[in-house]
Structure 1
């Protein structure tokens, strides 16, 4: 982005405030989650062991995949992320809000996005009223020429923008793998930005037809081959790229998601079902 600390030619992305605390928790495994949970509960509520579905981590120092955002497509083609309805719960003598729902055989929760300081963003507070549509980045901020030419900052992503997804390509990797766009979500007029990557791919369409856990997830969390995920690397909170960097080929990541900061690699077309220790929301 234009306000990144590091220039684009350095191949790096700026880090997120509060990364030290989140990086420390990111290395905690499920086995130690129970004891950590005691220390990370209210204050603001939430936190602790969290089951999630993310894009699959293939390699590198990141501890896990980046979380998916289940999507819906309206009758006019606009694409938006699902946000569960919030409700009040009490735990340890403290009352706070939780927002979760069942999607694709999994418990989808706003806790998925409480890492790398994102728990401080207004948009991930369960009861926050926010725009759930995926809004395009400015032409100077997106890595994709098609998006810079066709869309302006704040435009809603629409299924028609991805009509050539079966053949789209750039100078990275193979053509026809999946057409991407970069967006923000639940960020307009709120403090704290949530960067998102949206991809339409035949690979998702095919997997949504499978009669297994993967197919069940994609049939509920995707539509017409469209997926979305929070594009914040779980290692050190960098912003990775899908089919964005030519240097990704040396790590066999040219058709996937590649984090240039520390070479973590992800497969956006395969779900990772796991557990991590999410941070509590602040007061």
Structure 2
């Protein structure tokens, strides 16, 4: 088989950049097996190691876990921003470092959630980084409504999701949820944090449930809007929500589908666990 036909076009599969392999391999290591790795690497950075997380649920494919939620809030004018915790100084394994950490919706939310796939090098995940927490519209978005109504760098507003109750774009069912692509805590940097926001009736309903998932969504969403870091935990590709005809082959037409290696996710079902966050460089 030649490289030209290794990934048939009907799969929608994309080649990945070799540079992400090292980070991705570490991101898939189990917590128990990675403790030694963490101890070995921790002195060169901060905030790594076993980390509790809340993420959109990983359903299928090779990805080891879900992609982490970003808690959302609105300002007094209705613009959307991500919640960033206050900075704390923590000492573990004899190493002292800063971490942005807080209790939210029954979970321990911290900046370490985003330290995988090379994003541990992103200036935006530094706990004390002077960064804008507003979600800014991405350039060249995949959604027609967003390309028509927003320009790159515009702050995303609750009203931008008008018509979310029945929005559709020809992939999957209408009315599942209206998305927007954004960047977060990335102004003036080359290592961008890509984000997807979704407003959905499913989020509104889940936020009313008296359950671990409901308590989290109630605390981490606003006006039925959720957000997550859109970096696949397998090999660091950027997946798509309701933007690929190939997703139907993997029962993901109404969810999140990574075309690189067919990992699928459900953005409306939280999963909770522990993964090994990579240390931030000093």
Q: TM-score range by the shorter chain?
A: over 0.9
Q: State yes or no: 1:43 paired with 2:41.
A: no
User: How far is the alpha carbon of 1:12 from its aligned partner?
Assistant: 5.5
2: CA distance between counterparts of 1:215 and 1:91?
32
1: CA distance between counterparts of 2:257 and 2:23?
21
Query: Which residue is equivalent to 2:262?
Result: 263
Query: Which residue is equivalent to 1:240?
Result: 239
Query: Which residue is equivalent to 1:76?
Result: 77
Query: Which residue is equivalent to 1:209?
Result: 208
Structure 2 unaligned residues grouped into runs of 5+: 1-8
1: CA distance between counterparts of 2:146 and 2:27?
33
User: How far is the alpha carbon of 1:90 from its aligned partner?
Assistant: 3.1
Q: 1:64 to 1:134 in 2, by over 3 A?
A: same
Query: Which residue is equivalent to 2:271?
Result: 272
Cα offsets for 1:32-75 (capped at 9, x unmatched): 24333312312121111111000000000100000000010112
Q: 1:217 to 1:118 in 2, by over 3 A?
A: same
Counterpart mapping for 1:121-200 below 5 A: 121-138=122-139, 141-200=140-199
2: CA distance between counterparts of 1:137 and 1:94?
37
1: CA distance between counterparts of 2:175 and 2:104?
28
| 1:41 alignment partner, SS class | helix
User: How far is the alpha carbon of 1:17 from its aligned partner?
Assistant: 7.6
Query: Which residue is equivalent to 1:100?
Result: 101
1: CA distance between counterparts of 2:277 and 2:91?
18
2: CA distance between counterparts of 1:278 and 1:142?
29
Cα offsets for 1:200-242 (capped at 9, x unmatched): 0000100000011011001100111100000000000000000
User: How far is the alpha carbon of 1:188 from its aligned partner?
Assistant: 0.7
2: CA distance between counterparts of 1:58 and 1:169?
22
Q: 1:117 to 1:16 in 2, by over 3 A?
A: farther
Structure 1 unaligned residues grouped into runs of 5+: 1-7
Q: 1:77 to 1:12 in 2, by over 3 A?
A: farther
1: CA distance between counterparts of 2:14 and 2:128?
30
Q: State yes or no: 1:254 paired with 2:253.
A: yes
Q: 1:69 to 1:27 in 2, by over 3 A?
A: same
| 2:38 alignment partner, SS class | helix
Query: Which residue is equivalent to 2:222?
Result: 223
1: CA distance between counterparts of 2:19 and 2:160?
35
Q: State yes or no: 1:23 paired with 2:28.
A: no
Query: Which residue is equivalent to 2:91?
Result: 90
How many equivalent residue pairs? 274
CA contact (8 A) 1:16 1:117 kept: no
Q: RMSD of the alignment, in Å?
A: 1.8
Q: 1:144 to 1:274 in 2, by over 3 A?
A: same
Cα offsets for 1:86-139 (capped at 9, x unmatched): 12233444432111001111000100000000000000011101010000012x
| 1:42 alignment partner, SS class | helix
CA contact (8 A) 2:38 2:278 kept: no
